[in-house]
Amino acid sequence: MNEKPLSKRQQEILQFTRGYMEENGRPPTIREIGKAVKINSTSVVNYNLGKLEEKGYLSRDHDVSRGLRLTDKAAEVANGVGHALNKAAEAVRDVVQDFVRVPVWGDIGASASPLPTFGDFNLLARDEENDVIVPTNMLKGKPDQLYALRVRGDSMIDAMVNDGDTVIMQPQYEARNGEMVAVYLKDDTSATLKRFYAEDGRVRLQPANPALKPIYVDPEEVRIQGKVVLVIRQPN
């Protein structure tokens, strides 16, 4: 007949008892066990100790307050629980490592007229509460170099970038035709999000909205700040 597995509470009692004995060189009292595993009733602790004794995990001297002795069987169970906890911790670490925090630098204009900025972007002092959490398998490039911008405007709606969305940017200072980039316009001291096209003697910053016209600028007035690698939709 198969032995009934230990309950969660019984496993906790074994784990605590073993750890207590390793640290203090003596077994705990019933009250100490109850406090450690959050059992208020000493009779409930006694009941579970009795079950553990029946199953061969410990022996008890009922005439003394610290009369517990763990058997070799208990040590095997404690080691198994510890191994399971270590495996669970490893799994949690693996999940955490599969995500990256991307700092939000500020706003970027996707409108008919670029948003005015101070410096290169309307930057914010980094507040980690504003960071965007992104799965690493959705990203290209080096995650530690990425940054995020909040989109303001609707000039890129046909590229599935809407007002209030967040774009994840890969820093770069050159662009290929057709890439969606963050561009700083020196003459207007403003930044905008558009598709980049280098034409004869000029740069065309093309919106993805048929209701809006492209922006034409001198190449010397354009400074590429980064390329869009991911769009995060604003929750509805």
Catalytic residue status for 194: yes
User: Could you say which of 140, 155, 213, 227 is catalytic?
Assistant: 155
DSSP 3-state assignment of 20? helix
* Nearest-5° Cα angle at 222, 110 to 103: 55
Query: What spatial distance separates the first Cα and last Cα of the chain, rounded to whole Å?
Result: 57
DSSP 3-state assignment of 90? helix
Nearest Cα to Cα of residue 169 among 106, 94, 228: 228
Whether 55 contacts 6, CB under 8 Å: yes
User: Could you say which of 8, 41, 194, 227 is catalytic?
Assistant: 194
Kindly give, in sequence order, each residue whose CB lies less than 8 Å from that of residue 195, ignoring residues fewer than 6 positions away.
159, 178, 179, 180, 181, 205, 206, 207, 208
Cα separation of 50 and 163, whole Å? Answer: 65
Q: Are β-strands 215-217 and 132-135 bridged in parallel, bridged antiparallel, or unpaired?
A: unpaired
Catalytic residue status for 43: no
Residues with catalytic annotation?
155, 194
